[in-house]
Amino acid sequence: MRVLDRLRGDRDGRVALLVDGPNLLRDEFEVDFEDLRAVAEPDVARVYLDHRAPSALIEAVETNGMEAVVTSGDVDVRLAVDATAYTLEGFDIVLATRDADFKPALARANEEGARTTVVGVSESFSSALESVADEVVLLDKR
């Protein structure tokens, strides 16, 4: 059973999977796109990358059925704004990151009644995120 299926119960919400690329998609973490998508069956799957992202990474994101959102500025700002917008549109939020900067966006999602899941890796995972999310999923190294 997928994480958000357990959280949602009878609720029939849409799911937005938002991935903090620079913070999570690093060689040392060995995060797999299939693992990210397996957490929930997202209606929206976006990976946020900065302008320095290699074209091979952008291609891999798109090949795996996710939308690459390349920003010229701070990835965190764009991701937090989008998370809030999806929350206000009635989406549950699955945020893949290790970064505590997203605590306010998750808190806002909770205030709006959205279910929140944070997906991360155990290395340097923020306990601040754990305290605000409905569910935390830590991916194992391959």
Give the pLDDT confidence score for residue 11 in this predicted structure. Answer: 39
Q: What is the CATH number of the domain that holds 110?
A: 3.40.50.1010
Q: What is the side-by-side order of every strand in the sheet holding 14-20?
A: 67-71, 44-50, 14-20, 91-96, 116-121, 135-139
Give the pLDDT confidence score for residue 12 in this predicted structure. Answer: 55
Give the pLDDT confidence score for residue 9 in this predicted structure. Answer: 44
Structural domain boundaries enclosing 76: 3-139
Distance between CA atoms of residues 118 and 133, nearest Å: 6
Distance between CA atoms of residues 137 and 122, nearest Å: 9
The model's pLDDT over 83-93, given as tens digits with 9 standing for 90+, comes to 999 999 999 99
**Radius of gyration for the chain, computed over Cα atoms and rounded to the nearest angstrom:** 14
Give the pLDDT confidence score for residue 121 in this predicted structure. Answer: 85
Its pTM stands at 0.87
Q: What is the dihedral of CA 29, 34, 37, 39, to 10 degrees?
A: -70
pLDDT category of residue 142 using cuts at 50, 70 and 90: low
Q: What is the mean pLDDT of residues 77-104?
A: 94
Give, for 16, the enclosing helix (H) or strand (E). strand 14-20
- The total of structural domains in the chain comes to 1
Closest Cα partner for 15 from 92, 79, 84?
A: 92
